[in-house]
């Protein structure tokens, strides 16, 4: 690592959060590791989760699923659908549990299984109000169940839904979704199926025990963050696992009237010391943070000034005694991804997943 800008991921924090969430769930848990484990590193997070007894993992893309299968022999669920023959065939060959919610998807999967003498496992997605993907009517559900009853290649391994607003204080709509899901489950059971049922995301795992069913999905909370400020974590002690670290590459003194960076958005009122730090928006340190973010420099909090550039950012360091080579923490113990998210009107998920591939991940307690 020649450029000393990196994300330090403490895998013991991941392990700790899994233990906390298992305690809250009281069921099996599924680790959601899509988007490179929310920016933390998929394979490393999965390895640590396996050490903690996790045997279910969820991803969002077929490429993620096939990549994870190279190092993980546990249950892997693709949360989105596969629409083309090449992708479905690759997932079937890799033994990935596939998300299905249309009769066309089911028939394609069956045709591929028949042609290759394969078995497949599916999780049926019920749309209870998210209106993204999933079965929306009883008639759609029954059509799939009728098809499944007449064949032996495809196992209905699971059924699931996703809550649209479980991370809000008002749980009324979430409870409506829960009732719709229970209605679908009754139809499925009346047809003689007994799939694994899962509905709880991080928010529902923490706050809605009646939605836990057989398995709870650990998303943002596994990485140490509450899903929102409206979710009360109670006795859960979640620990953010990722720190974003860079270093000072240049120190200079500017005079009153001097400007800093593109657009001259910062103009000094007096003589100041400025540090250039080797991180920018191409690393995922968002340009929208310009002039708003702070960072940690030892015991000091230093303020970003001027516009964040593609590869570099400038900070005000007057009175700190900072020097070239000093470490700067952009995300750490006192400045979290949630803090940065608040500054630009987004969520911790986006801050974490924005960290680009050119920022190496360095692992602690692997």
Query: Residue 267: beta bridge partners?
Result: 259
**pLDDT (average), residues 238-262:** 98
Per-residue model confidence as pLDDT tens digits over 53-108: 999 999 999 999 999 999 999 999 999 988 899 999 999 999 999 999 999 999 99
Per-residue model confidence as pLDDT tens digits over 135-184: 999 999 999 999 999 999 999 999 999 999 999 999 999 999 999 999 99
Cα 334 → chain centroid: 21
Determine the longest span between alpha carbons in the chain, in angstroms.
80
| 289 Rama class: left (phi>0) / alpha (psi -120 to 50) / beta | alpha
Cα(105)–Cα(99) distance, integer angstroms: 9
Per-residue tokens: 357: 């591939």
34 classed as catalytic: yes
Per-residue model confidence as pLDDT tens digits over 186-218: 999 999 999 999 999 999 999 999 999 999 999
Residue 297's SS3 state is strand
Torsion of CA 360, 18, 123, 173, to 10 degrees: -110
| Contact present, 254 and 229 (Cβ < 8 Å) | no
State the pLDDT at residue 71.
97
Residue 235 pLDDT exceeds 90: no
Cα(245)–Cα(6) distance, integer angstroms: 5
Closest listed residue to residue 24, CA positions, set 227, 243, 241: 227
The mean pLDDT value of the chain amounts to 97
Cα(17)–Cα(107) distance, integer angstroms: 40
| Contact present, 158 and 123 (Cβ < 8 Å) | yes
Given 34, 48, 125, 171, which residue is catalytic? 34
Per-residue tokens: 79: 């949360």
**pLDDT (average), residues 355-363:** 98
Handedness of CA 255, 261, 262, 268 (dihedral sign): negative
Cα(219)–Cα(166) distance, integer angstroms: 13
Phi, psi of 343 (to 5 degrees): -65, -25
Give, for 101, the enclosing helix (H) or strand (E): none
Q: Are strands 75-78 and 97-100 parallel, antiparallel or unpaired?
A: parallel
State the pLDDT at residue 282.
98
Q: Each residue of 103-117: b (16+ CB within 10 Å) or e?
A: eebbebbbebbeeee
262 classed as catalytic: yes
Residue 234 pLDDT exceeds 90: no
Residue 291 pLDDT exceeds 90: yes
State the pLDDT at residue 83.
84
List of domains in the chain: 11-223 (3.20.20.10), 242-364 (2.40.37.10)
Per-residue tokens: 36: 């490179």
Residue 333 pLDDT exceeds 90: no
Q: Going by C-beta distance under 8 Å and a sequence separation of 6 or more, which residues neighbour residue 220? A: 38, 202, 226, 227, 348, 349
Cα(330)–Cα(208) distance, integer angstroms: 34
Handedness of CA 185, 189, 194, 195 (dihedral sign): negative
The position carrying tokens 């903690």 is 52
**pLDDT (average), residues 328-343:** 97
Cα(88)–Cα(102) distance, integer angstroms: 14
The counts of H helices and E strands in the chain are 11, 18
DSSP state of 135: B
Model confidence band, residue 320 (pLDDT cutoffs 50, 70, 90): very high
Closest listed residue to residue 224, CA positions, set 241, 201, 207: 241
pTM here? 0.96
Per-residue tokens: 300: 């000091």
CA atoms in the 13 A half-sphere facing the CB of 112: 22
Given 107, 250, 262, 271, which residue is catalytic? 262
Residue 6 pLDDT exceeds 90: yes
State the pLDDT at residue 82.
86
């Amino acid at each position: 690592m020649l450029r000393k800008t990196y994300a330090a991921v403490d895998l013991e924090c991941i392990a700790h959060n899994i233990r906390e969430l298992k305690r809250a769930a009281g069921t099996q848990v599924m680790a959601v590791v899509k988007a490179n484990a929310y920016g933390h590193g998929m394979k490393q997070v999965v390895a640590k989760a396996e050490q903690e007894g996790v045997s279910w993992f969820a991803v969002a893309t077929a490429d993620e699923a096939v990549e994870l299968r190279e190092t993980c022999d546990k249950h892997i669920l693709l949360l989105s659908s596969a629409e083309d023959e090449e992708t479905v065939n690759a997932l079937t060959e890799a033994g990935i549990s596939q998300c299905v919610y249309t009769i066309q998807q089911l028939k394609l999967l069956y045709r591929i299984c028949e042609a290759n003498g394969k078995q497949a496992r599916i999780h049926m997605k019920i749309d209870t109000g998210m209106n993204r993907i999933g079965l929306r009517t009883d008639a759609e559900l029954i059509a799939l169940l009728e098809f499944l009853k007449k064949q032996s290649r495809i196992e209905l391994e699971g059924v699931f839904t996703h809550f649209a607003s479980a991370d809000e204080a008002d749980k009324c709509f979430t409870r409506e979704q829960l009732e719709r899901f229970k209605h679908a489950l009754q139809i499925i059971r009346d047809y003689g199926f007994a799939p694994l049922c899962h509905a709880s995301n991080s928010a529902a795992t923490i706050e809605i025990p009646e939605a836990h069913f057989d398995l709870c999905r650990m998303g943002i909370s596994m990485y140490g963050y509450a899903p929102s400020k409206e979710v009360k974590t109670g006795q859960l002690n979640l620990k953010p696992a990722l720190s974003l670290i860079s270093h000072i590459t240049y120190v200079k003194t500017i005079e009153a009237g001097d400007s800093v960076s593109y657009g001259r958005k910062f103009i000094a009122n007096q003589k100041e010391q400025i540090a250039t730090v080797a991180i920018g928006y191409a690393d995922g340190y968002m340009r929208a943070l310009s002039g708003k973010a702070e960072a940690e420099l030892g015991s000091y909090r230093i303020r970003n000034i001027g516009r964040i550039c593609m590869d570099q950012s400038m900070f005000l360091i007057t009175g700190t005694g900072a020097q070239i080579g000093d470490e700067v923490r952009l995300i750490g113990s006192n400045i979290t991804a949630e803090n940065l998210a608040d500054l630009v009107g987004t969520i911790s998920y986006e801050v974490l997943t924005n960290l680009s591939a050119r920022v190496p991940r360095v692992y602690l307690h692997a």
